[in-house]
Amino acid sequence: MSWIHFFILVPILFSVFIPILYKIFPRIHTGWFVLSIPIVLFIYFLQQVPSVMNQEPVLHTLSWISSLGIDFSVYLDGLGLLFSLIITGIGSLVILYSIYYMSKEREALHNFYVYLMLFMSSMLGVVLSDNVIVLYVFWEITSISSFLLIAYWYQRKGSRYGAQKSMLITIFGGLSMLAGFLLLSIVTDTFSIQAMIGMREEIFHHSLFLPAMLLILLGAFTKSAQFPFHIWLPDAMEAPTPISAYLHSATMVKAGIYLVARFTPIFGGATEWMWAVSICGLVTLFWGSFLAVKQTDLKALLAYSTVSQLGMIMSLLGVGSMALYPGTEEASILLSTAILAALFHLINHATFKGSLFMIVGIIDLETGTRDIRRLGGLMSIMPISFTITVIGGLSMAGLPPFNGFLSKEMFFTGMLNAAESIGSWTTLFPYVAWLASVFTFVYSLIIILKTFAGSYQPEKLDKKPAEPPVGMLIPPIILASFVVVFFFFPNTLSYTVLEPAMQSILPFLLNTGEQFHVHITAFHGWNMELLMTIGVVLFGTILFFTLKKWSAIYDHLPEKLNINDLYNAGLSGMEKFSSKIIDLHMTGYVRDYLVYLFTFVIVLIGSSALHFQVFSFHFQGNGPIEIYEIVLVVVMVLAALYVILSTSRVMAVIAVGAVGYMLSLFFVILRAPDLALTQLVVETITTTLFALCLIYLPKLKKEISRVRVKVTNLLIAIGVGLIFTLIGLSVQGHRLLPPISHYFEDAYELAGAKNMVNAILVDFRGYDTMFEVIVLLIAGLGVFTLIKLRPTSREEKE
């Protein structure tokens, strides 16, 4: 195992000790022990920056299921490094924030941090795995761990509902993504992403290209809350605020972004990929920003703003993927700026949105509410929180001097370049981008002004507000500082992180000699992008101050087309349908279940045997059949028929025993005294047990004695018997391998046993026999315990 394998798994390994630390040190907040893990990981990944800058990606393989081509291969390039730094860096700040947010007296902190460490490991596994099957395993672990984190306050109905919705939607997408991976592996005969990238042309011209692409995109869209799968993200806000700041602004929702970026070298340049990713992203961008404006809960507003910002990044990746289209060099360079904008905004969004989520958590703790209608006038009471909110809110709005302004300008540039270079319907992209940015500006002002400006309403608050402890303010202050620093010094990221990440996404463009160097500046002159920004500010300001006059438009949205209602109705419909199906076949009668099983066996095995023509018989080597053997068979058949036709349980049990005893006589005739003795003992015991149980069995219902029921029983019995008899006779004449009995004939030489049957049971399959005995022991202990725990007459009365 390499060091990078170890560091990916460190959070999971450390989570084993968290409950122990929680118990041993009850007076110390468990978060202080956990904080060291993401800090160490962040430092480790920072040390990898020089090698990645020099285009020296790290590749290590750990053997797992090599026979199937599934190995834990880790590939650390620019793209993986970018996401790893975000996961560990934001993770460190979130854990520091959680130490002050999560009370050690009231919260089960050991559960919280175990889930968080599990999530951190799984996210690192997603962004660093080169094997698609391993990537899928980590992908689903993120869904499971996020389910546990969202449902952390499981006492709340909203938490359970939000966790269930997120898991159902993301796991559905994950299974679709797995199908897409398998299709790609069929085309390329490999599970390695880098090997698939090397076979790009073969994938492009294969008939499975489009199905694989759509299935993989389905996984990405569900994870990154793209329209119409965005509905899980607002409900996931029921999680504690540290979880919202980590999962739903910086990491988990970015997994879908990562997937699209990682597979762009394979699918990029295809018009289907570009249109699917770009249109889905732009629709999500507009719809998320439009719905965010009407929210009155601050976390809900941030949730829809996150949906909107993710759509923006997704649309940029879609547009930028056309840089790999075989066209002019100038067009490729222009379109590649959209990829740069997506990566830059990925970082910027993590900084300003993470700080905003943390401030909302502070407001909730200090005032007892997140309802904008009850807030206002907090500017002078919470000046530090207000300052951080202004920095994060204006960055999200795309104003200088904050990093969001730079990436938003680059977003406009990417859309304008798409309209110029691609043409067709992409000419509408800049208009959609501008309109969505207007709503983004409006909800950014709502967060800032409606929370901190206006009149102070102490009578509507549950607590007297004040600034939180300094330790709780440190993480959002650090993130807000990065928002400003990245504006004035954006190229500290350009050469260290952004260029290597672009080289990972556009390797073919770079391999053709079209080297480009990322250089970001705050001002490019009076161009169209700046004019669009001025228009956003002017029009957005007007919409904000006239919000009451036009917000009634939300009341006229068609309720029947509400995606949340459609989801709830679909889930309810599936539950009702499944209940009807279950009620139809789960009758409570063992007989009915046996009818289903045996009918299935008859149909499946019988039809398969007929289809493949396996029934053929060879009786040349068989011995003669004696008259007494025929008599025994006739007696067994009559006894079996009597079991079916009998209306008395006692007589039926006796008839079953008669069948067993006749079988033991066959063992005697065929010179197998051990089997005969075993059969006699087992048959005697089971017959006795049946007889003892008769007094506890309910009376036979009249339905059991109906002719229809008896005929069904007879037909099924004949069918099963006939099928297995024919199979037995067919197998007898078609021996593919030498009989194993020849090996056991040397039992004395091999095991020193004079009895072959005993040698088989004790020596040749000793482990099997041992485990069978253990099963019987466990069953006996269970029966003994049930007998001992049988309630007394007094307990039964109570």
- Say if 562 falls within a structural domain: no
User: Which tokens go with 211?
Assistant: 């199905």
Q: Say yes or no: 695 and 759 in one domain.
A: no
Burial of 8 (0-12, 13-18, 19+ CB in 10 A): buried
- Say if 92 falls within a structural domain: yes
The stretches of 368-505 forming alpha helices (DSSP H) are: 383-397, 403-421, 429-452, 470-488, 491-493, 499-505
- Say if 561 falls within a structural domain: no
- 751 lies in which domain range? 740-798
**Which amino acid would we find at residue 315?**
S
Which H helix or E strand runs over 59?
strand 58-65
pLDDT at 512: 47
Judge contact between 417 and 337, C-beta under 8 A. Answer: yes
Closest residue by Cα to residue 665 from 634, 702, 619, 699 = 634
Measured distance CA(175)–CA(190) in Å, rounded: 19
Measured distance CA(600)–CA(738) in Å, rounded: 32
Measured distance CA(483)–CA(397) in Å, rounded: 13
- Say if 575 falls within a structural domain: no
Q: Is the pLDDT of residue 236 over 60?
A: yes
Give first-to-last CA distance, the chain, whole Å. Answer: 61
- Res. 513 pLDDT band, cuts 50 70 90: very low
**Mean pLDDT computed over every residue of the chain:** 88
pLDDT at 755: 77
Q: Say yes or no: 429 and 477 in one domain.
A: yes
Task: Give tens-digit pLDDT for 318-328.
Answer: 999 988 887 76
Q: How many domains does the chain have?
A: 3
pLDDT at 104: 85
Residue 343: count other Cβ atoms within 10 Å of its Cβ: 30
Q: Say yes or no: 474 and 612 in one domain.
A: no
Q: Say yes or no: 749 and 715 in one domain.
A: no
Tokens 């997120």 -> residue:
166
Measured distance CA(30)–CA(790) in Å, rounded: 44
- Say if 579 falls within a structural domain: no
pLDDT at 488: 92
Which of 519, 545, 571 is the endpoint of a domain?
Answer: 545
DSSP letter assigned to residue 28? S
Of 31 and 512, more confident? 31
Tokens 């395993």 -> residue:
137
Q: Say yes or no: 186 and 203 in one domain.
A: yes
- Say if 582 falls within a structural domain: no
- Say if 568 falls within a structural domain: no
Tokens 């002002």 -> residue:
445
Q: Say yes or no: 701 and 745 in one domain.
A: no
Closest residue by Cα to residue 277 from 288, 292, 266, 267 = 267
pLDDT at 345: 95
C-alpha separations of 217 from 188, 221, 673, 739 in Å? 19, 6, 66, 53
CB-side neighbour CA atoms (13 Å) of 452? 23
- Indicate if the alpha-carbon torsion angle 359, 461, 234, 432 is positive or negative: negative
- Say if 59 falls within a structural domain: yes
Q: Say yes or no: 507 and 624 in one domain.
A: no
Which of 736, 754, 777 is the endpoint of a domain?
Answer: 736
C-alpha separations of 516 from 311, 332, 667 in Å? 26, 11, 85
Q: Say yes or no: 614 and 749 in one domain.
A: no
Mean pLDDT of 305-333: 87
pLDDT at 621: 67
- Res. 516 pLDDT band, cuts 50 70 90: low
Q: Say yes or no: 778 and 714 in one domain.
A: no
Q: Say yes or no: 645 and 541 in one domain.
A: no
Task: Give tens-digit pLDDT for 590-644.
Answer: 888 888 899 998 999 888 888 877 777 776 667 788 888 899 999 998 998 888 7
Which H helix or E strand runs over 758?
helix 756-759
Q: Is the pLDDT of residue 581 over 80?
A: yes
Q: Say yes or no: 754 and 725 in one domain.
A: no
Measured distance CA(329)–CA(334) in Å, rounded: 9
Q: Say yes or no: 778 and 692 in one domain.
A: no
DSSP letter assigned to residue 514? -
Q: Is the pLDDT of residue 539 over 70?
A: yes
pLDDT at 795: 46
pTM, 2 dp: 0.81
Which of 545, 577, 601 is the endpoint of a domain?
Answer: 545
User: Which tokens go with 389?
Assistant: 């909110």
